[in-house]
Every structure is written in structure tokens, then in C-alpha cells.
Structure 1
């Protein structure tokens, strides 16, 4: 595994924290790559595993969250999920509700073995589609003491039912028929088929898609060559496992550990956090950011409520 040693993030490097590249292995033997950010000074420190959004890499939003929280006193590990970015796994650019949930627990493994980390004070931050993965991971991984999901997507719900659960049974059956048959093509070819290049706008797209492109495609904002959403595409059959493996089935089992959901008032995806909040057990909190869109919570430092996130983890780790 060859990791870039250049500072190739989409945000400036902080001189307030130490940074190093690390690797660790998940339960399925896949080697993951991460950026470890450590506060200056003496530990042991509380720690946070951070990943997301769906189709992003650690050099984008998750790295910004991680570095910012390290400046506030936490050891943080922003990582590329399996099959993406600098992490291992073949084929490339595929997602799994199980393996990618496991990736969070593998990051907790890594953090808990670091001498500068207090392993009894570990939390998780999941952004966008990895917000749903984070909630799923914390429900089963009792080592994690608190979780934040920011601008959260439930990827299993949106893949299975479409936005606002608008997919009809007939549409679901047709999609599954097409992907099922695509498996024979992939098996015959020995390699998976990939969809079209992500976020190549043709005109007439919904505003939230335009917002995604404004982040992922802009060199002045969020573009990164290793990001699927910036420069590649998912395998055609990626949705298959999400369509019958609901991620948030056991969300109530996060309790009694605290949960903070953060979402933009104007985000098309706001209903994911609102419904997760209803399904979760106390202690829980839903914070709606006035005027914010979905992607504002990727990188807008005046919008992301880092003071609230810091207080939440200081109080609960």
C-alpha cells in the first residue's frame, strides 16, 4: 500500500496539531488508510473516529471535521472506507452496509491501541451516508461512548425506497431485476460494470444535486482526484445489499449512550435525521441549523456547529 505523503487535503493544514498517515485492518482483513490528528501536549486524550460522506475521501469533509476536533483536544482518525480512496479492498468503488459499518469498529480498534488515547473515551462522527453507518456501528459496538451524525443519510433507505420513500414496488422489482442480471455480465467479464461519471451535470438537475457538484467538482472547494463523487463512479450493483439490509433497525440500542443528530434546515435529506431521532431512545438530541443546506455541513466552518460538537463529546466521553 502506497500512501501519499503530501498534504493533499481540501483544507489548510493546522499548525496546532500533529498529523500522520496510519493503516489498520478490519475484521475482514481489508487494510484501511487513515489520517491521524493528535493534539499537542500530554495525553491520554479522548478520541474520535470520523468518516464520510458517501463517495468521499478522508481528504475532504471527514478530514476537516477530524482536524478541527483535534484542535479542540481530541485524537481523531479520519479514514477511507473499504474499497475507496487509499484504503484496500477489491473491486474498487463498491460499498457494503456490513463491511463499511465494520470499518468504524476497526477504527475504534486502532484508536484504542494508541498509547496517547484513553480507550474508555472513544466516540464517532459520521458525515452524510457514513452518518447512517456510524449509528449502525455504535448500536453494536459498545466500546463507543457517544456518537454524532452530521447531515445524515440512511443509505439503505434511500437505495431501497428512493427519496422520500417514493419508489413503487414495481420500480424496486425492476431495479433488482436489472442489477441481478448485471451480476451475470460482471461474472462473465471478470470485472464489475461502473455507472457514469459522478455529478456530471446536464442541466435541469434538482438543487441538491447542483449543490453536490458545487462541492465535489470545484477545485476551490471539495474536489479530490481519489473521491468517487469528484472523479469516478460506483459499481452498478452497489445498491444490491443496501436494498434489503436496513441500517437503522437497532438504532434504539445506542442508548443509554448519547446521540447527537445535526442537520441543515434547508437540506433535502433532513427527514433522515428527523426520522432517526424519532426511532432512537434517550438520551438523544436533534440540532437543526437555520438556513443550512445538506452540503453546507461538509465544509462551511461558520455553519458546522463545532462548539456544540465539542461540548457534546466533552460532556459524554
Structure 2
């Protein structure tokens, strides 16, 4: 494959940085796939690995840093938005559709982890996305507003909102948003899935990258606010008749996000549960990532 660094703007005027991968010696107009995620990661991590691998299989691919993160623009840094980050996928479709070697009628998206929910949301509103796949998908609005396994009570939600809005006063007084402690610095006693996250993002041999929030920084303290009020997956039943493929690990703590989304999706849809895989296995472990399924899905539906 061939690689080059590119930039493009989204509808809000933010400049997104991306890596564009093209199969070597390809001719004519090709199908294309935009890739992003996981939540708090950068394009040099899992999304870049997916993009490179799918380019080797014959697709033009684009792995991008979401707005406000990585090498993409946006101030303040390290914030996210269910609206703007959904738009980021559509902006990636804009860019791909302008390439001379891309068939703009054959563009799909892959969202990993928290960007799986963004990818589904983008497909629900952007009819140019002809097929959408997710890997180890998180619904960020659900987990931020309801907690894991929907464990947040009404009282918890009110207390959380009160904390976040008091923090807004502090940020306004300071003239900049406060950020939390550096992500995934283990102290002992964390849930197993947090240990697995740290094993990926903190390991220089596996997934560490200095620009990744999960490796080397943290989100702003008030980052959850917009997600708590804007459910991401409200309209995913409208993706049909365009196809959706959801892939999740059998042992992933987050598996219920894909299972719930799958129930709401209309045909054509497919849910693949990968045996003996946890959440982060599907970031970079191609012994477990069902590559043949991904390639067949896009080859069948982007033509």
C-alpha cells in the first residue's frame, strides 16, 4: 500500500488530520473506507492498523484523528461531542469522495470502541455511507449518562450534573477548562477491563502513543455534559436498507452496547461475537479480529 498524510475540514471549519492509504498498483475507481477510534486514541493506534490492513485488501482507506484530539485542530484540546464527532465521519466521506481514485458511490465507515457509536450515528444521517461496521462498540452517550450496565440512578445523574455545572463556574473563572488526572495510571484494585485498557494504551510495545489521550493525557472534566443530554443511537433503525456489521468480543465488558444496538437496527444487519475475546483484543489482535468477515462485508456492499 501507499501512504500519505492529509488534512481536510469538517462542516464546523475544524481541520482534521488523517493518514490516507491506497493499495499499490491499483487502477480505476476503488471502494473506500473511513476509520476512527477508539475513544481517546489517535490514528496511529487501532484505527491506523485497521486502515492499513483494509488497504492491503484493496480498499482506499482513511484513518483520522477526531476534532480536538491528536493532530486535528480544535480548542480547547481533549474535548469530544456527539454532534461534532459524528460530523467528523461525514467530513471524511467528503474527502474520500473527492479523490480521483475513489468511487463516491462506494464509501463505508468503520468505528472502533467509542467511535463505533459515532459511526452508526453518522450512517443514520449520511446516506452517502453505503455500509457501516463497528468493532467493540461503545455508546458513549449511554455510558456517560447511565453508567456501565445502566447502573446510574436518577439521584446519581442529578449529582453528576451538579458537579459538572459547578465545574463550569470554575472553568469560567480560570478562563480554561480543567482536565482530570492522566488516564489509566493504575493504583491497584481497578476492574479487569481498566487493567486491559492500560495494557494497551500504556505499553510502548503495543499501543502507547504520546498524542493519545488514553496514553498520555486526559479529557476535560466537563467533557461528559453534551453526551448526557444527546442520545447517539436514536435513529440507527433508519440506516436500513444500508447494511450494518457489529463485531464484539465474547468476554468484553462492553458487549451489551453492540447487542442493544443490534436489536434496534433493521435488516440487513449482522452481529459477530468473537469467541474468547475481550474489549481490547479487537483493537489490534488479528488472531481474533475477523478480518475475512470485514473484507467480505465491504467487498459485497461497496460495489
Which range, TM-score by smaller chain? over 0.9
What 5-or-longer segments of structure 2 have no aligned partner?
Answer: none
Q: How many residues align?
A: 301
Q: CA deviation at 1:184?
A: 1.1
- Aligned with 2:31: secondary structure? strand
Deviations 1:116-170 (A, max 9, x none): 1000000000000000000000000000100001100000000000000000111
Structure 2 residue corresponding to 1:81, chosen from 66, 69, 77: 66
Structure 2 residue 26 is matched with structure 1 residue 22: no
Q: Which residue is equivalent to 1:12?
A: none
Q: CA deviation at 1:43?
A: 2.6
Structure 2 residue 32 is matched with structure 1 residue 47: yes
Q: Over aligned residues, Cα RMSD in angstroms?
A: 0.4
Q: Which residue is equivalent to 1:120?
A: 105
Distance (Å, rounded) in 1 between the aligned partners of 2:269 and 2:239 = 10
Distance (Å, rounded) in 2 between the aligned partners of 1:281 and 1:301 = 28
Q: Which residue is equivalent to 1:235?
A: 220
Structure 2 residue corresponding to 1:157, chosen from 131, 142, 151: 142
- Aligned with 2:129: secondary structure? coil
Q: Which residue is equivalent to 2:129?
A: 144
Matches of residues 57-76 of structure 1 in structure 2 within 5 Å?
A: 57-76=42-61
Q: CA deviation at 1:289?
A: 0.2
Matches of residues 160-239 of structure 1 in structure 2 within 5 Å?
A: 160-239=145-224
Structure 2 residue 3 is matched with structure 1 residue 31: no
Deviations 1:4-34 (A, max 9, x none): xxxxxxxxxxxxx000000000000000000
What 5-or-longer segments of structure 1 have no aligned partner?
Answer: 1-16
Q: CA deviation at 1:270?
A: 0.2
Q: Which residue is equivalent to 1:129?
A: 114
Structure 2 residue corresponding to 1:307, chosen from 279, 284, 292: 292
Distance (Å, rounded) in 2 between the aligned partners of 1:240 and 1:144 = 28
Distance (Å, rounded) in 2 between the aligned partners of 1:183 and 1:26 = 27
- Aligned with 2:3: secondary structure? strand
Q: CA deviation at 1:181?
A: 1.2
- Aligned with 2:229: secondary structure? coil
Q: TM-score, normalised by structure 2?
A: 0.99
Structure 2 residue 272 is matched with structure 1 residue 287: yes
Deviations 1:188-226 (A, max 9, x none): 111100011000000000000000000000000000000
